[in-house]
Structure 1
């Protein structure tokens, strides 16, 4: 009963509102490519394939593990809902520590975080690694600020940040930011500085252990090299593929270093909690913009620190801290507006309400969510293949066709753009020629061609059916 009494009524209301905001996501459709890739890799694992060696994607494995357990989009997003509620609860506990004497600041940060994390603005309703990984950063910082931060506790916090990194590599920037904070902002004398060095050693040890265990696992699976390349090293190559230059990365690195120097020189003008928030914001923004890609869910990594910056404005503090918080808030809003894609909120909920009230057909509902021809194509596949049959889909929506039809691709690539980006044409063509899938689907959405695929279709397949732009080819021996 004591635990229930300490649970604020307004937090119960906020969590309830969060559930309401996320209900439409549970009725989502197979249209978001990344979600479909994760589900396809999850199915591959259930059928005995090894990630990275037998089927490819370029993220660490924990998100695929959740996809393996979920099995379909509904349960995948249900896990996301439960995960998000837990994240909000831990965020509330951290907010109370960061703003111990100002309930208004706590409530404002909580409401902002809960709402922004649940709306389509930052793609918080879709399954992305960033939405999962922030809980580990929040939990790690919460454990540190609760006091009695022993070497054993540091080991545990390092493990938390490592788990976040095993969802997506940029989570490591939050870990490095925390280490900088503990080493350069917490110590008040040489003795404390030496103590913090020991703490950081245990943090680093905890951070290393889960990652090293994952490498050990894949080494025993004969997949050490592909795991190293796809799960980690390709993330560095990913940094320059969008704009074709690393100049922006160098500029952002200089800005991060400049931010650190400025905060260190002015650290005595802020409280320890404020220094933590400012530094957390700087490192998380750096992590979110590493690749300079315009996907809004990347900014989810910044959201906790962003909300705490907002809380500073309503805390009883010196004006200088508020001015700095305002400048940082304006900067991230500026970055979001000019550098990231924007998603509408009202049309999303309007579409769901019309569907829920029976004023909109299932087909129109799906079409408004961008499903295209995925459902009729998947239905055709299921009617003309066995569950054990592999297929091949060429086109932008290939991952969603695989996930929706519960069929695995021939070759190791679930996404067409992976074949293009990683020059997997020859490897994929060889797999196609060897396995002769019963169906090949050309969605006719790619500008570039796959010559050996066209030759194989001409030689061994005939046009079975058209669904709008998509062409479905059946193996000639299957007539």
Structure 2
């Protein structure tokens, strides 16, 4: 009882880096492990796995399959698949290790900026919580992978006691951008900030020199991703898929940009409160270079979301580091009016945020007691049913649960449905030389020319299009006249072609 009243203090000083890393890894593993067995947590992860498998089989990204991400986003998955084969556990364990590494650098940055190891420790811990809980972030997302390089890059930038630190920061930022292209904005903003501070403190020559080192570092990984395409005479494929296609990701509708801005308002508000508190508490010195870098990273990342016109929950993983750092440092400077015994409060918070993984552990326990496989979800069960009842199918078309391609050893029927929702992104068709001009032509080609033996969808329609769209009208007619319903597994419906 006395412990609950007084709390307890953890001595962070004796902890070595490897010990802190192991703590972070243990916490991340506890939170994320029960999700290792899910078919998919987010459709994007399934797409990355398909792209990685294609690369592991010798096909450069965008040549056999296609998705709107830079090539290094798929390299992670290709490398894991090449080494460990088709393993959900290997992919998600590697992602968990990556999160622990990112958290270790969050610790180092927080420790350096605040001078308090406790602040650094909780910076790392908060990153684990926010990047592993709440929403669809238990899978391996490109946001996780990009932060694996962007956060260490930020570390080398703020320590920057030698010129090679600047170059290395740029190189790591370049890798991050070739994993998640929207990071080009915060990377640019930070680079301009670097040159400004160097100009103000040491003059124009040093400013240009440091800017050149930073920019050259960024270009190195970009050029390295180009080389394989250049060797194969496919430079235009890289240019159209990596540079041009992202510029046309969303149709130019200002309403989308406004919606993204509105979705970001809570986080803009948090940033504004932190800026206000810092102005009152002076947690960072006036005109502090590192504090300015944090604000530039925040501004650049938010601008990239607004510019894209889309705001998904997993995008926030890129914001969290630059919100966590000032938050932790400012909180550590606040003098509370009463002595707060934080231990019981921390214990309650930690217990509450573990609700989702604990529920998943209970679900896995029930499956184990029932003698079922721990692997679960329609994306597992549907391919298992197809493999059992149809053997080697000629072709499959997954409009949902498209991780099923991976588990049935099939490829998507066309590039446009590597990620099923790309079927509806007609503005991207020219960038992977799709001869069809719109989604109606594409769905007709798939259903009438390729004529897949099996179609898997939900509710007898194309899930992500309006029921009365020309695509769905045609698709429903095809299902009614040329296919027969076989089985429903969860929400998934399996249809077999009538011969």
TM-score class, shorter-chain normalisation, is 0.7 to 0.9
CA-CA distance at 1:299 after TM superposition: 0.7
- Per the alignment, residue 82 of structure 1 pairs with 97
Write the deviation string for residues 198-255 of structure 1: whole angstroms up to 9, x where unpaired.
1112221221232233234234445444443333333233355787544568999xx9
- Per the alignment, residue 403 of structure 1 pairs with 406
Write the deviation string for residues 95-154 of structure 1: whole angstroms up to 9, x where unpaired.
222222x3343233233223222x32264421111111112222112223334331x443
What root-mean-square deviation, in Å, do the aligned CA atoms of Structure 1 and Structure 2 show? 4.0
The structure-2 alpha-carbon separation of the partners of 1:172 and 1:457, relative to structure 1 and needing over 3 Å to count, comes to: same
Work out the CA distance in 2 between the residues paired with 1:11 and 1:298.
25
Matched, 1:136 2:185: no
- Per the alignment, residue 157 of structure 1 pairs with 169
Choose 163-172 or 173-182, whichever is displaced more.
173-182
CA-CA distance at 1:292 after TM superposition: 4.1
- Per the alignment, residue 23 of structure 1 pairs with 33
Work out the CA distance in 1 between the residues paired with 2:225 and 2:22.
37
Choose 130-139 or 61-70, whichever is displaced more.
61-70
Work out the CA distance in 1 between the residues paired with 2:368 and 2:445.
49
The structure-2 alpha-carbon separation of the partners of 1:145 and 1:122, relative to structure 1 and needing over 3 Å to count, comes to: farther
CA-CA distance at 1:85 after TM superposition: 1.3
Matched, 1:376 2:381: yes
The structure-2 alpha-carbon separation of the partners of 1:186 and 1:48, relative to structure 1 and needing over 3 Å to count, comes to: closer
Matched, 1:192 2:197: no
The structure-2 alpha-carbon separation of the partners of 1:380 and 1:106, relative to structure 1 and needing over 3 Å to count, comes to: closer
CA contact (8 A) 2:103 2:123 kept: no
CA contact (8 A) 2:186 2:297 kept: yes
CA contact (8 A) 1:39 1:73 kept: no
CA-CA distance at 1:282 after TM superposition: 2.4
Work out the CA distance in 1 between the residues paired with 2:374 and 2:88.
16
The structure-2 alpha-carbon separation of the partners of 1:30 and 1:405, relative to structure 1 and needing over 3 Å to count, comes to: farther
The structure-2 alpha-carbon separation of the partners of 1:386 and 1:241, relative to structure 1 and needing over 3 Å to count, comes to: farther
The structure-2 alpha-carbon separation of the partners of 1:175 and 1:111, relative to structure 1 and needing over 3 Å to count, comes to: same
Matched, 1:420 2:424: yes
Count of residues in Structure 1 that have an aligned counterpart in Structure 2: 435
- Per the alignment, residue 355 of structure 2 pairs with 346
CA contact (8 A) 1:441 1:470 kept: yes
CA contact (8 A) 2:21 2:101 kept: no
Normalised TM-score (structure 1): 0.77
Work out the CA distance in 2 between the residues paired with 1:7 and 1:92.
9
Equivalent residues in 2 for 1:263-278, closer than 5 Å: 269-278=286-295
CA contact (8 A) 1:14 1:114 kept: yes
The structure-2 alpha-carbon separation of the partners of 1:66 and 1:428, relative to structure 1 and needing over 3 Å to count, comes to: farther
CA contact (8 A) 1:439 1:474 kept: yes
Work out the CA distance in 2 between the residues paired with 1:203 and 1:59.
23
Work out the CA distance in 2 between the residues paired with 1:392 and 1:307.
43
- Per the alignment, residue 341 of structure 1 pairs with none
The structure-2 alpha-carbon separation of the partners of 1:392 and 1:49, relative to structure 1 and needing over 3 Å to count, comes to: farther
Work out the CA distance in 2 between the residues paired with 1:353 and 1:39.
27
The structure-2 alpha-carbon separation of the partners of 1:243 and 1:76, relative to structure 1 and needing over 3 Å to count, comes to: farther
- Per the alignment, residue 46 of structure 2 pairs with 36
The structure-2 alpha-carbon separation of the partners of 1:224 and 1:242, relative to structure 1 and needing over 3 Å to count, comes to: farther
Work out the CA distance in 1 between the residues paired with 2:253 and 2:407.
29
Work out the CA distance in 1 between the residues paired with 2:24 and 2:322.
19
**Secondary structure of the structure 2 residue equivalent to 1:167:** coil
The structure-2 alpha-carbon separation of the partners of 1:244 and 1:5, relative to structure 1 and needing over 3 Å to count, comes to: closer
Work out the CA distance in 1 between the residues paired with 2:198 and 2:321.
21
Structure 1 spans left out of the alignment, 5+ residues: 320-343
Normalised TM-score (structure 2): 0.74
Work out the CA distance in 1 between the residues paired with 2:219 and 2:144.
22
Candidates 150, 155, 159, aligned match of 1:146: 159
Choose 129-138 or 416-425, whichever is displaced more.
416-425
Matched, 1:96 2:108: no
